Structure 1
């Protein structure tokens, strides 16, 4: 949360105290647009939407932007052939139906599902990140004074291809997702994320940073991350060439993560380079990798975990790898035991029916 946001929440807490002591009134609480206490409000309905009217030309960036912004269950009608929609302004989903706080009439969104039907490619053109959501973004509507703990909105991507997203500069005029940012295809803070049967190619973020990461996907404080049946290739960032999690529990299953690179150097005390394929840094959050192939990814100079990098700073988190292959990854300067493709610090490392170099 920015300094400006923090100041507004300090004002909110002062208002709540005044109300509890009988000093103020509800009218006082909303004067001048100052946030009030949590206002009981019904969630917004999940609306079905269709982008396009049967032709490729009708599937415009403008129509997609408007649909995604206010959530719902979104599909495409772009004709029988595959289409590519070039994104020039990062797609985003607000936390409420009108992007205003609940005390200003905003109804919390519970779902944003985007299903490409296996025919839609979203391209950042090498210039912008493709998608951004943030429970602590003020202009999206705050749901509570602890926006970092909000998990009302479920974001789901299905049957899509994300290519050439670039999160190097972040989203103009919006908060960073934290920890230096990242996520050339998907950048999220808070709420929940599910990715199904999707492809991520040649997405990038900042080249060098101690914490920033996720050439394709960056999640910070997201309460549930589930990735299945998806492919990641040619993605690059300072850490976590394909996927980077900061304090977000993850489940990665039946996926292929190959040919991605952590481009930083010097590891965490320098400018990154950890996690050529997958990167996790957090506390007691657990990560599970199952039936997944992680190969030919590369750590940066001085970095570790060329395939998988996992650090639980309070040693309270568990990494589970089952039925998976983590081999042929390169560039690591440090690793765990005899497994060069893996670096792990945490409560428990569980490996079963897997091959790890």
Structure 2
């Protein structure tokens, strides 16, 4: 081989190698959504956590919790060691919880909810490392916290307004949960929370469901009551549904539902969720009630809903608020929608200026650099 031919081929090889390395680096960089490293890219379904177009700033209190020094490690490195009972036991102890189930994605199936004990630890952080799916097997709710439930231990005489436990779920998928068999604390197909504080970061919610009828029950994925000092629930870089066949459903609030709670939702995606009740709230005569808030259902008084970098699309209702149902009874609540898109949601609404949103006509709604269309 001539020297010049050899040098030419070496040059081509080096150029190709540099190109491949550049592509790999670019792909790794794209795993960052907003300002939080987001490892949740399940190779089996290809749906990431969060809105890929969302780039809103994330406040420090809404950031990932540090789990570098965990209190409990579930598993010994094998999938078989990561059981539903091991998860339930870990949640009962509280503290920082991580998983060691091997290098492949894993689904851990529960046959009863994991419940937070209010006197176990002020902090409860559950981090799936981007590999763990918690499944209710279409039979049970996955996670429950209630500061006013005596069975979970009362720790203050103001159970509805205490600063702990502070529950964080991050880098997890919640799938196929079902709370329809719950009678005392209904709604909240995957997660039910009252009191303390709650936030979800880099999480995905697929095919979760709660009661299908009722004027004030809901939250196919999440149901929340009374947060400490009316501080908001943070939902960050999370996906509810994501594609057809993966949406969540309930009587109201196909994805999330609350009474008297504020929410700050950042860089998240809500799609293909459904409010499947009918008759509204209060229920019309001869109807079971419900059917409002395809993605989000908020009811109460002084509360806020803030959407930043969030996409709400292809959600569906039978009655009101194809995307959002927001009723502040004393007219003291408000909504802020910034750098977000609400589009192509299906069903009723009342609020002519903003398709897909149901609210009183005098509700304070501030829209900044956002798109809201049919």
TM-score interval, smaller chain: 0.7 to 0.9
CA deviation after TM superposition for structure 1 residue 146, in Å: 2.0
Q: Is the 8 A contact 1:112 1:155 kept in 2?
A: yes
1:153 aligned to 2:165?
Answer: yes
Which 4+ stretches in 1 moved above 4 angstroms?
none
Q: Which of 333, 342, 351 matches 2:357?
A: 342
- Structure 2: stretches of 5+ with no match in the other structure: 1-68, 242-246, 284-288
Match of 2:221 in 1: 216
Determine the C-alpha separation between the residues in 1 that align with 2:131 and 2:168. Answer: 17
Q: Which of 316, 319, 342 matches 1:326?
A: 342
Q: Is the 8 A contact 2:164 2:195 kept in 1?
A: no
CA deviation after TM superposition for structure 1 residue 77, in Å: 0.3
Match of 2:236 in 1: 228
CA deviation after TM superposition for structure 1 residue 347, in Å: 4.7
Determine the C-alpha separation between the residues in 1 that align with 2:129 and 2:181. Answer: 30
Q: In the TM superposition, what are the counterparts of 1:310-325 in structure 2 within 5 Å?
A: 310-325=326-341
Task: Name which structure has the greater RCO, CA cutoff 8 Å, separation 6+.
Answer: 2
Q: Is the 8 A contact 2:70 2:98 kept in 1?
A: no
Q: Is the 8 A contact 1:132 1:186 kept in 2?
A: yes
Match of 1:266 in 2: 279
Determine the C-alpha separation between the residues in 2 that align with 1:141 and 1:324. Answer: 40
Higher gyration radius (CA): 2
Determine the C-alpha separation between the residues in 1 that align with 2:307 and 2:201. Answer: 15
Q: Which of 53, 59, 64 matches 2:87?
A: 64
Determine the C-alpha separation between the residues in 2 that align with 1:331 and 1:311. Answer: 17
Q: In the TM superposition, what are the counterparts of 1:70-109 in structure 2 within 5 Å?
A: 70-97=93-120, 109=121
Q: Report which stretch shifted further, 218-227 or 129-138.
A: 218-227
Q: In the TM superposition, what are the counterparts of 1:106-185 in structure 2 within 5 Å?
A: 109-170=121-182, 175-176=184-185, 181-185=186-190
- Residue by residue over 1:48-94, the C-alpha shift from the partner in whole angstroms, topping out at 9 and shown as x without a partner, is 11000000000111111111112100000001111100010101101
What is the TM-score normalised by the length of structure 1?
Answer: 0.79
What is the TM-score normalised by the length of structure 2?
Answer: 0.76
Residues matched between the structures, number: 291
CA deviation after TM superposition for structure 1 residue 151, in Å: 2.3
Match of 1:307 in 2: 323
Match of 1:53 in 2: 76
Match of 1:10 in 2: none
- Residue by residue over 1:150-206, the C-alpha shift from the partner in whole angstroms, topping out at 9 and shown as x without a partner, is 2221100010000000011227xxx52xxxx21111111111111000100000000
Determine the C-alpha separation between the residues in 1 that align with 2:133 and 2:257. Answer: 22
Q: In structure 2, the residue corresponding to 1:232 is in which secondary structure?
A: strand
Q: In structure 2, the residue corresponding to 1:65 is in which secondary structure?
A: helix
Q: Report which stretch shifted further, 68-77 or 141-150.
A: 141-150
1:197 aligned to 2:202?
Answer: yes
Match of 1:21 in 2: none
Determine the C-alpha separation between the residues in 1 that align with 2:133 and 2:303. Answer: 32
Determine the C-alpha separation between the residues in 2 that align with 1:340 and 1:348. Answer: 16
Q: Which of 223, 246, 265 matches 2:259?
A: 246
